[in-house]
Amino acid sequence: MKPPACGLVTLIPLAAFGLTSSAPAQQGAAALAPADPPAAEGAMAPRVFAHAGGVLLSWLEPVQTAPGSNGENDAESLRLRFARYAPGRGWSEARTIVQGVPFFANWADVPSVIIADDGALLAAWLEKTADATYAYDVRLARSIDGGATWTHLGAPHNDGTPTEHGFVSLVPEPPAARAFWLDGRAMAVVAGEDDDEGGHGPGDMTLRTAVITDRVVQGTMLDDRVCECCNTDAVLTDAGPIIFYRDRGHDEVRDISFVRYDGMEWSLPQPVHIDGWEIAGCPVNGPAADARGSAVVVVWYTAAASRPLIRAAFSRDAGATFEPPIILDDGQPLGRVDVALDPDGSAIACWLDGGAGFGTLVARRFGPDGRAGPKVSVAASSSRRSGGFARLARVADDLLLVWMEDRPTLRIRAAIVDPGEFPTGTDENPPVRD
């Protein structure tokens, strides 16, 4: 079966399911301390990387022209930038990583910057390689002077096909870092065969990984058939890295799977939970995860059996096993999730609630015991593509929330939130599990 084009299914209207919320009522709104980053008006595609000293935020911003209303942009007019946030010091000045290249600028498939295990900065972004919509490559660059200068490392794949390579997740891993990405080389259009006018042939999207030092060290295929355009997320546990992604079965069931490395070999792909979401196109709605030592949490959106849900699952053994999932929301979730683990073992997740053309970012604390506090409104957002994905990161004793605002102009917003704004579950909130 030929894969559908990316973005064929982007939102599932709740009204189509006739559902109402049975989750605890929203308990007011969280108090936010504004902390907007040094990003220009028209900036898009924010992504955060939390580390011991604070947070790195990366984004794309226009150099000459503003982006279009659909969250896309003229690739030649953009630059990739980043800034640091440190508690008590705020944001650093923004620094440019690269500009003037043919960026593939997209609302969901976004660049990233991390601090590698060796202390270097590693950046990943996407560049167009042909006229077809989904013909683009991953590009990497490394800095050993805090981002003042960058050495370009090329692509981690180098297969030479004008196909989709993206949805990158970077994770620090000795000796430096590891990259994961969705790789469309098997979807290359063969001469004489039909394509979907976007550059997709009849093959399958794959999941691949490579070790990155001052060069690409090795490449490995982890899954030979995955969902074409859902974001991935990777974490590093005390046993090794884990990559979470939306899988794709031959029956078009697209549940969340993971692959983990135990220091010796990669596991086979395994589902976090069997939701059974059968869907004919990619929902552009991938998982988010966080880890501390051997504790792992993953959050995701599903609409199996025409029932939209936000689910979360914990692992206490570095991903060897996952406990039955907790239902965080069964009311009006649209997904676009993120999550941050707290030192006490609980987690705070955020996601988008709402309907066509509008939305509200909400968050909720929950624990491995299955109990969850009330759902709390944190910011107004948009369910349009220009609303992008909100980001959540632990910063010392606080949380940093980053999101997109698309009215009256497109801009990146950020705020500091006291984790106490998200209460823990009580005995009056019994565990909610499948």
Distance CA(59)–CA(82), nearest Å, equals 6
Region 201-215: mean pLDDT is 93
Q: Residue 212 has which token pair?
A: 């990155």
The two structure tokens encoding residue 380: 């107004």
When comparing pLDDT for 70 and 151, which is higher? 151
Res 398 pLDDT > 80:
yes
What pLDDT was estimated at residue 286? 98
Please compute the mean of the pLDDT values over residues 47-61 and round it to a whole number: 97
Quick check: pTM over 0.85?
A: yes
Residue whose pair of structure tokens reads 């999207």 in the numeric block: 205
pLDDT of residue 162: 93
Residue 24 pLDDT grade (very low, low, confident, very high; cuts 50, 70, 90): very low
Of residues 140, 34, 147, the one with CA closest to residue 83: 147
Partners of 191 in the β-ladder = none
Going along 22-175, which residue ranges are E strands? 32-34, 44-51, 54-62, 78-86, 90-91, 95-99, 112-115, 121-128, 136-143, 151-154, 165-173
Q: State residue 7's pLDDT score.
A: 43
Could you tell me the CA-to-CA distances from 327 to 368, 415, 434 in Å, in that order? 12, 27, 7
Give the number of C-alpha atoms closer than 13 A to the C-alpha of residue 71, restricted to the C-beta side: 20
pLDDT band at 74 (very low <50, low <70, confident <90, very high): low
pLDDT, tens digit, for every residue of 152-188? 999 999 899 999 999 999 999 999 999 999 999 999 8
Q: What is the pLDDT of residue 354?
A: 81
pLDDT single digits (tens) 282-335: 999 999 999 999 999 999 999 999 999 999 999 999 999 999 999 999 888 999
103 pLDDT more than 60: yes
Mean pLDDT on 118-124: 98
Query: Cα separation of 318 and 333, whole Å?
Result: 28
Single-letter amino acid code for the residue at 51: H
d(CA 413, CA 50): 17
Name the CATH architecture for the domain at 14-421.
Answer: 6 Propeller (2.120)
Write a three-state SS string for 310-372.
Answer: EEEEEECCCCCCCCCCEEEECCCEEEEEEEEECCCCCEEEEEEECCCCCEEEEEEEECCCCCE
pLDDT for 431 equals 63
User: For residue range 349-384, what is the model confidence (pLDDT) as tens digits?
Assistant: 999 998 555 789 999 999 999 999 999 999 998 889
Distance CA(143)–CA(93), nearest Å, equals 17
Share of the chain above pLDDT 70, in %: 85
Q: State the average pLDDT for the chain.
A: 88
